Structure 1
Amino acid sequence: MYNKIENLLDQFYKTYYKIEEINLNQVIKCLTTTEIHVIEAIGQDKITMNELAEKLGITMGTASIAINKLNEKQFIERIRSDEDRRKVFVKLSKKGEMALNYHGNFHSTILEKITENIPKEELKAFVTTFETILNNLEVIKKDIQPESILTFEEGDTVQVSSIKGSVAIRKYLNEKGVLIKSLIKIINIDKFLITMLVDGDEKILNVEDAENIMVRKNSL
């Protein structure tokens, strides 16, 4: 049963993304599949490079290469934050928005075609089941894969796996007592600040600095 599920999922995604690749080569010839996925990840809002890399599950280096190419092709724009000049956002240009809208329509059309012979009740049951499977995967992922501390909730206890950002940011967090393997209990998170116990000591950090703390859920 489980082997069959795995094989079906594997075959589905291979075929689905092959169709996507063929469509790109025929219509938006200057974009690769990876680049259109970056455009989709950015969406209609501006986003930082850290957020983009985390959203796609790629390294900052890979994200930077993709963004540089998209910038050269004029699909994205870089915007420096008014509040913090060190922070740079990326957003879609008009050309990028056109590519996003076209590709979104392509996905809708393909999904409509491949589900048109399935009764609505069966399709609803499939969606409900698949949502449950995805939610279960997210739980497992959160337990084993380091993520920004900001993706966790108040009351969670987590362990620091790594610290991202510049040398200055890493040094600042180290001075605050945030070290590799530190145990952190999240007390409160709001729009601007995070309050937490770091190895038993209460610390308050700006969320922009805290997003660089990569942690795993602690089961103890």
Structure 2
Amino acid sequence: MYEKIESLLDNFYKTYYKIEEINLNQVIKCLTTSELHIIEAIGENEITMNELSDKIGITMGTASVAVNKLTEKQFLERSRSNTDRRKVFVKLTPKGEVALNYHGNFHSTILEKITDDIPKEKLDTFVEVFETIMKNLEKVKKDIQPETILNFEKGDLVQVSSIKGSTAIRKYLNEKGVVIKSLIKILNIDKYLINMIVDGDEKILNIEDAENIMVRKNAL
């Protein structure tokens, strides 16, 4: 059964994204499928480069290369925070918004076509089961993939797996004692600060810096 489920999912996504690629090449020839997914990840709101890389599961370096290309093609624009010059924001240009709307309409149309002859009650059951599968998958992902420390809670014990951000941010966090393999116990997280014990020493960081600390839970 599990082999069949894996095969069905694999074939679905390969076919689905192949259709997307073919359609994209006919309509917006200057964009790749990956670039369109970055546009979709940014959406209608301005987000930071860190948020973008986390959202689509790529490194900051890869995200920077992609954003550079999309900026050159005038689908995106970048700006630095007025309060923290280390933080870079990206948002869609009007041209990028057109591509985003196209992408959304494409997915809606395709999903409507491929589910048109399936009774609503069967679709409702499918959605319910798939939501449970995704929920369980996220639990597995959280156990094996590093996440920003801000995704954890008071009392959690975590271990640093990597530090993101600019060279200045990494240097600052290293000076605070946060290095790869550091053990951290979270004492408190609020809107502005995180209070934690790093390898036995209590530290306080602002949220903007702490979001660059990537950790795994209970990695002892």
- Normalised by the shorter chain, which TM-score bucket? over 0.9
**SS of equivalent to 2:82:** coil
For 2:36 and 2:123, the matched residues in 1 are separated by 28
The aligned counterpart of 2:75 is 75
The aligned counterpart of 1:136 is 136
* 1:150/1:38 CA distance change after superposition, 3 Å: same
Contact 2:164 2:170 in 1 (8 A): yes
The aligned counterpart of 2:196 is 196
Displacement after TM superposition at 1:96 (Å): 0.4
The aligned counterpart of 1:49 is 49
The aligned counterpart of 1:34 is 34
2:43 partner letter: G
Give yes or no for the alignment of 1:96 onto 2:96.
yes
Give yes or no for the alignment of 1:171 onto 2:171.
yes
Query: For residues 99-132 of structure 1, what are the alpha-carbon distances to aligned partners after superposition, in whole Å with 9 as ceiling and x for unaligned?
Result: 1011101101111111111111111111111111
2:55 partner letter: K
Runs of 4+ in 1 over 6 A off after TM superposition: none
For 2:64 and 2:184, the matched residues in 1 are separated by 30
For 2:89 and 2:62, the matched residues in 1 are separated by 16
Give yes or no for the alignment of 1:122 onto 2:125.
no
* 1:167/1:73 CA distance change after superposition, 3 Å: closer
2:135 partner letter: N
For 1:174 and 1:73, the matched residues in 2 are separated by 37
**SS of equivalent to 1:170:** helix
Identity of aligned residues (%): 80
Query: For residues 58-97 of structure 1, what are the alpha-carbon distances to aligned partners after superposition, in whole Å with 9 as ceiling and x for unaligned?
Result: 1222111111111111101112211112321000001101
1:61 partner letter: G
Displacement after TM superposition at 1:197 (Å): 2.0
For 2:97 and 2:42, the matched residues in 1 are separated by 10
Q: RMSD over aligned Cα, in angstroms? A: 1.4
Contact 2:60 2:164 in 1 (8 A): no
For 1:104 and 1:153, the matched residues in 2 are separated by 34
Displacement after TM superposition at 1:219 (Å): 6.0
For 1:213 and 1:86, the matched residues in 2 are separated by 15
The aligned counterpart of 1:216 is 216
1:32 partner letter: T
Contact 2:35 2:70 in 1 (8 A): yes
Question: Structure 1: which 5+ residue stretches go unaligned?
Answer: none
For 2:154 and 2:176, the matched residues in 1 are separated by 20
**SS of equivalent to 2:4:** helix
2:132 partner letter: T
For 2:97 and 2:187, the matched residues in 1 are separated by 39
2:72 partner letter: E
Displacement after TM superposition at 1:18 (Å): 0.4
**SS of equivalent to 1:18:** helix
1:129 partner letter: V
For 1:206 and 1:170, the matched residues in 2 are separated by 14
Give yes or no for the alignment of 1:150 onto 2:157.
no
The aligned counterpart of 1:16 is 16
